[in-house]
Amino acid sequence: MRRFALLLSLLLSYAAATNIVITNDDGWATAQIRQQFDTLTSAGHNVVLSSPALDQSGKGSSTSTPEPLTEPCEFNTCPTGSPAEGFNTTNPRLNYVNGFPVDAARFGIRTLAPKFFSGAAPDLVVSGPNIGNNLGLVVLLSGTVGAASDSALSGVPAVAFSGASGSQVSYTTLTSTPDAASSVAARTYAALTATFVKTLVSAAGGAPLLPTGVIVNVNYAAVDKCTSPAAFKWVFSRLVENVLEVDVETCGSSHLPSESRVVGAGCFASVTVLDASSKLDVNATLQVQVLERLGGLPLTCLPN
């Protein structure tokens, strides 16, 4: 019992010390990204936000050289003429980059992480939750998935999160209209993402959080009838159903359901393992490696 308590203490200590860069493609001042930052920080993680200054949805893995702003940041959170990279004066962990999602993620990994993590690299990049799902081949155009993929290719484990609900609204609405659908979605998805991160970190026990060269793509159903995080169940899935491919065996089948089928079935979250280079489904061997890390969610089956 004493050895178990010591192990549990070590795992909790590691989880609390997890260094996380959070990014997205909707912009640095949206309700969802700020709520996610607050929720992960409150969970004890060491978090820094590095996101585009403007909405950069649908930009995939595009990259550019960030330049000074020729227009204000989204929601007028910084003025025209602001530098290419900047931060919130009241919290320097909140950073914008006037570039694409990939540029923001790279800035977070290469510049902000050494500064805020005492010279260490991030343990994890959390991309999202995106406003709107990224299902099936849409991932090829998604900036949220693009940022996660680029991070994984640079050697940092990364997970992309997206939710069906939410709106492109300012973080100030979290307090000004806390009962609005966008605020409920932001809180619900942030809590679910924190649960996913806790599970992944605890299972790793200090080892790399994910296999090299893969990302996980998580999609949440709408919150209309699932207003509590406890209402959601997790289902292991694949990008596109393919009866010719043999997947990891779950729920008595070696063919995983598609993300779209999972999210459309009710209060579910789909969990898909993708190749970081192609952004397509991985083989069963890699699926097994990730599945073993996520057993504590717990994962479930779709109803027949």
Q: Which residues are catalytic?
A: 162
C-alpha angle with apex 155: 143 to 87, nearest 5 degrees?
A: 55
- Helix, strand, coil distribution of the chain in percent, nearest 5: 35, 20, 45
Distance CA 271, CA 258 (A): 10
Residue 98 identity (one-letter amino acid): N
List the alpha helices (DSSP H) in 17-89.
31-42
Within 13 Å and on the Cβ side, how many CA atoms surround 145? 30
What sign results for the dihedral spanned by CA atoms 21, 189, 286, 207?
positive
Within 13 Å and on the Cβ side, how many CA atoms surround 148? 32
List, in order, residues 6 or more apart from 84 with CB less than 8 Å away: 66, 67, 68, 69, 97, 98, 99
Edge to edge, what strands does the sheet with 85-88 contain? Answer: 85-88, 91-97, 46-52, 19-23, 124-131, 158-163, 214-220, 268-275, 233-237
Q: CB of 95 within 8 A of CB of 51?
A: yes
Q: Is 252 helix (H, G, I), strand (E, B) or coil?
A: coil
The whole-angstrom distance between residue 93's C-alpha and the CA centroid of its chain comes to 17
- Bridge partner list, 209: none
State the virtual CA torsion across 20, 64, 168, 75 in degrees, nearest 10: 100
CA distances from 212 to 23, 47, 290 (A): 20, 22, 11
